[in-house]
Amino acid sequence: MEGMDGAVRDLAALTTRLLLHLGSDKTNMAISPLSFHSVLVLLAAGATGDTFAQIVSFLGSSGDTAHASLASQVASGIFAGENSAGPEVRCAVGVWVDSSFQLRPEFAKKVAVQYKAGARAMPFQDKADEATVEINRWFEDKTGGFIRDLIPHGHLDSDTILVVGNALYLRGTWLDLFDRDDTMDGDFFLPDKSRRAAVRVPFMTSRNRQLISCHPGFKVLQLPYEGGGNRRFSMHIYLPNERDGSGALVRELSSDTAGFLDRGVPARPVEVGDFRIPKFKVSFKTEASKLLRDMRLERPFRPSYDFAEMVDCSEPLVVGSVLHECVVEVNEDGTMAAAATEADMIAGFSIEGEEHVEVVDFVADHPFLFLVREDKSGIVLFAGQVVNPLL
């Protein structure tokens, strides 16, 4: 990971930008910034001109080489196989091209060598539905069955030239397991200022010391996963003090992207008083092309010849859509999370300081944010918010 610190910081900044643009105080949400990153880097690998420049600028100031190196190392399995006792993390990249076209040799080499993805020929022109089923099976297999039918029936058709995708899967066990016998139902307060509505949800608890830091307006809990070696993963829960404070918290984190990686990371365990974390499962799916355009990534969605280095197609190419789906499930044993991102291309047209605290309460009984990251490198794999654990 040496030499890629800037790209990792850019990824953290992208995380806060995505949370800010997707955030709503009424819906649960989960995303994988790392999965988005993989697909965008793959698009950049086959782009030239203004489109290439805008994708690289969108990814961050570290530049295309640093981001390509980060995506390449993740695709090559830097998270896998280093410690059998650690979380299971899998990342896969897929490329599918219409049978009547071929990838340009240089792009095909990058796909195979840098991103460990074999390009597959697909009958988009004649049998788009069959191609959709096969690609969806790939996503389902690579995400442990969590992501099914990412691509809707009829989404791909005879105009589809190329599909690129990323699949990410994590299964981690808490270093300090929660006792199921201690889990009890309690009130989780919804962000309804007029009624202060609440729902009854199961809360996990523990009497053990916890990694918690306190800041003006919010607290941060770090829950490490079992494992060691060169990689250390954990979930970070950002809990605003106010019951309706998650939106303000996202805006605050977004205003300090440079310090986002380390801001709030607890330095040491503290004694806990009232300590409760809800069990939850968050599922989120979005067609992200409007989101990306709103975030000022526009060029890939305009017809141009900037993708001519990807496929031997004589017509201008354009990204037609970007689909993203993410699932994160948390219980007493740990976390299972998966994400998939797909971009399909068609021809010619577009549709403050930490406080010292001896005993800390941490009661996540109102909306909060969460991250799953590899702590030594700072790479953010998953992020989201929980507004209602029952949804």
When the pLDDT of each residue in the chain is averaged and rounded to a whole number, the result is 89
Report the pLDDT value the prediction gives residue 266, as an integer from 0 to 100. Answer: 82
Segment of 43-57, 339-353, 356-370 carrying the highest mean pLDDT: 43-57
Report the pLDDT value the prediction gives residue 306, as an integer from 0 to 100. Answer: 94
pLDDT at 85 over 70: no
Report whether 236 contacts 221 (CB < 8 A).
yes
Report the pLDDT value the prediction gives residue 79, as an integer from 0 to 100. Answer: 77
Give alpha helix (H) positions in 23-172: 33-45, 49-59, 64-75, 105-113, 124-142
How many whole angstroms separate alpha carbon 235 and alpha carbon 83?
A: 18
* Length reported for the chain: 391
Report the pLDDT value the prediction gives residue 250, as an integer from 0 to 100. Answer: 84
The closest alpha carbon to 299, from 279, 318, 280, 312, belongs to 318
DSSP letter (8 states) at residue 315 = S
Question: What is the set of domains in the chain, with CATH numbers?
Answer: 5-171+281-347 (3.30.497.10), 180-278+353-386 (2.30.39.10)
The model's pLDDT over 244-301, given as tens digits with 9 standing for 90+, comes to 888 888 888 877 765 655 667 787 899 999 999 999 999 999 999 999 999 999 999 9
Report the pLDDT value the prediction gives residue 351, as an integer from 0 to 100. Answer: 41
Q: One-letter amino acid identity for 135?
A: I
Q: CA–CA distance from 302 to each of 158, 325, 351 (Å)? A: 19, 24, 9
Q: One-letter amino acid identity for 314?
A: S
Q: Which pTM value belongs to this model?
A: 0.92
How many whole angstroms separate alpha carbon 311 and alpha carbon 48?
A: 13
The model's pLDDT over 302-342, given as tens digits with 9 standing for 90+, comes to 999 999 999 998 899 999 999 999 999 999 999 999 999 99
Six token digits for residue 101: 């076209």
State which H helix or E strand residue 260 sits in: none
Q: Is 391 helix (H, G, I), strand (E, B) or coil?
A: coil
Q: CA–CA distance from 332 to each of 1, 32, 174, 276 (Å)? A: 32, 22, 8, 12
> Which pLDDT band, with edges at 50, 70 and 90, does 193 fall under?
low
